[in-house]
């Protein structure tokens, strides 16, 4: 490549990096005249990148693939044929639309390139500039539709998780004594679930379940929820209805149907003395057993109207003592073995949430300090 060509290529690259309005099209042809014709035909409407062979083109795709919407490539080229080049592109950047230029009709090449390269269209050479323009325009429309669908899906997902966080934060701030409770329970549950080697989907669900485990408390009267002292038997009976109320709220959301069972079971006990269904042992969903441990640890290490917070060490001793009665003994053992990690998360939930969260990985939540700072 001459210094003049190099300069021209650099200008094109800089131009397209600075110009987000136009789509970027990569044109690949070993014959300089053809390359210039392709460039002239398309450059008014698009940012154009050029390459003289498949190998050079692959380097460009590797570097700028995310910004390229469409590739027009010649089939017959030295170094690498157009179809071979497209196969590589399909693997690394499947979203890019591909148009092949061929000198003659070879049905085998055309059929296999449609199948193997996910080819959008082929154009016979010599081509009419208008024909190329129409093909590229259709390809760009297809690219935009698929891109917009992806954005729409991402936005929906973002809205879904932001809503869950908003509900969870609203719940945590309803009672000043449980400020940040749902987030910390989520964290401890995730630390335990991660140690159990549960898959990413399960981890994401357990994160949602942790955030929503006490959602039924939204229906509890504030006089009971924020009572400054021990609850009467009658008040406690009302309070005990929150897992079932939570289940009823969550079950209406299709994506959260499985989680509703976990919400319902977070006050069950391993020995069958819990509520609402007095389930025993492994009849309690695994996530329910995990959240129960996390929930009790957080209750013990938080100040409540009727007592001050227990130390981390005392809470861990209690968990050891209650393994096999209140808690699943295997989970309790693992929880105790994760004592340092749990303690670190308790002291700095904001940082820990960034580390463990699957939801926050997808979108950047702003976690407000007031909702994560533990009462002391």
DSSP of 93-122: -TTSEEEEEESS--HHHHHHHHHHH---EE
Could you tell me the smallest distance in angstroms from the CB atom of residue 275 to Fe ion?
A: 10
Q: Give the list of residues 6+ apart from residue 74 with CB closer than 8 angstroms, or none.
A: 28, 29, 30, 31, 34, 82, 100, 101, 125
Q: Which two tokens stand for residue 154?
A: 């991402």
- Please report where in the chains the tokens 């492994």 appear, as a residue: 282
- In the complex, residue closest to Fe ion by CB: 214
Beta bridge partners of 304: 307
102 vs 265, beta carbon nearer Fe ion: 265
Q: Minimum CB separation from Fe ion for residue 321, in Å?
A: 21
Q: Rounded to whole angstroms, how far apart are CA atoms 336 and 170? A: 30
Please identify, using beta-carbon distances, which residue of 81 and 214 lies nearer to Fe ion: 214
Q: Which of 133, 217, 240, 369 is catalytic?
A: 217
In whole angstroms, the minimum distance from the beta carbon of 174 to Fe ion comes to 13
Nearest Cα to 134, choosing from 66, 70, 67, 50? 70
> How far apart, in whole angstroms, are the C-alpha atoms of residue 289 and residue 293?
6
Residues found near Fe ion in the complex (CB under 5 A): 214
- Which of 23, 242 has the CB closer to Fe ion? 242
39 in catalytic set = no
By beta-carbon proximity to Fe ion, the closer residue of 175 and 214 is: 214
46 vs 59: CA distance, rounded Å: 20
* Least Cβ distance, residue 214 to Fe ion (angstroms): 5
| Least Å from the CB of residue 216 to Fe ion | 8
Nearest CA to 8 among 45, 34, 35? Answer: 35
Consecutive H or E run containing 101: strand 97-102
Given a contact cutoff of 8 angstroms between Cβ atoms, the answer to whether 242 and 220 are in contact is yes
Triad 82, 7, 43: Cα angle to 5°: 55
Residues serving a catalytic function are 217
């Amino acid at each position: 490549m001459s210094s003049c060509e190099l300069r021209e290529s650099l200008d094109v690259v800089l131009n397209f990096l600075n110009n987000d309005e136009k789509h970027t099209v990569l044109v690949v042809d070993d014959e300089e005249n053809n390359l210039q014709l392709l460039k002239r035909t398309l450059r008014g409407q698009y940012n154009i990148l050029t390459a003289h062979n498949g190998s050079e083109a692959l380097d460009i795709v590797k570097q700028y693939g995310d910004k390229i919407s469409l590739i027009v490539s010649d089939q017959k080229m030295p170094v690498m044929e157009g179809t071979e080049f497209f196969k590589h592109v399909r693997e690394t950047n499947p979203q890019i639309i591909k148009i092949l230029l061929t000198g003659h009709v070879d049905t085998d090449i055309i059929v296999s390139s449609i199948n193997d390269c996910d080819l959008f269209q082929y154009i016979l050479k010599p081509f009419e500039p208008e024909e190329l323009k129409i093909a590229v325009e259709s390809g760009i429309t297809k690219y935009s539709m698929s891109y917009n669908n992806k954005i729409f899906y991402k936005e929906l997902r973002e809205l879904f998780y932001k809503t869950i966080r908003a509900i969870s934060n609203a719940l945590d701030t309803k009672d000043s004594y449980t400020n940040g409770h749902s987030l910390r329970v989520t964290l401890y549950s995730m630390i335990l679930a991660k140690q159990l080697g549960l898959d990413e989907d399960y981890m994401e669900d357990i994160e949602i379940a942790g955030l929503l485990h006490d959602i039924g408390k939204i229906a509890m009267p504030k006089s009971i929820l924020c009572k400054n002292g021990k609850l009467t038997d009658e008040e406690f009976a009302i309070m005990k209805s929150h897992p079932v109320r939570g289940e009823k709220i969550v079950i209406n959301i299709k994506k959260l149907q499985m989680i509703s069972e976990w919400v319902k079971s977070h006050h069950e006990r391993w020995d069958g003395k819990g509520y609402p269904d007095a389930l025993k042992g492994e009849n309690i969903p695994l996530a329910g057993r995990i959240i129960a441990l996390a929930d009790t640890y957080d209750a013990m290490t938080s100040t409540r109207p009727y007592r001050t917070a227990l130390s981390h060490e005392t809470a861990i001793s209690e968990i050891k003592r209650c393994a096999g009665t209140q808690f699943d003994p295997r989970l309790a053992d693992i929880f105790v073995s994760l004592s340092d990690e749990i303690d670190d998360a308790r002291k700095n939930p904001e940082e820990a949430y960034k580390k463990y969260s699957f939801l926050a990985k997808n979108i950047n939540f702003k976690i407000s300090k007031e909702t994560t700072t533990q009462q002391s």
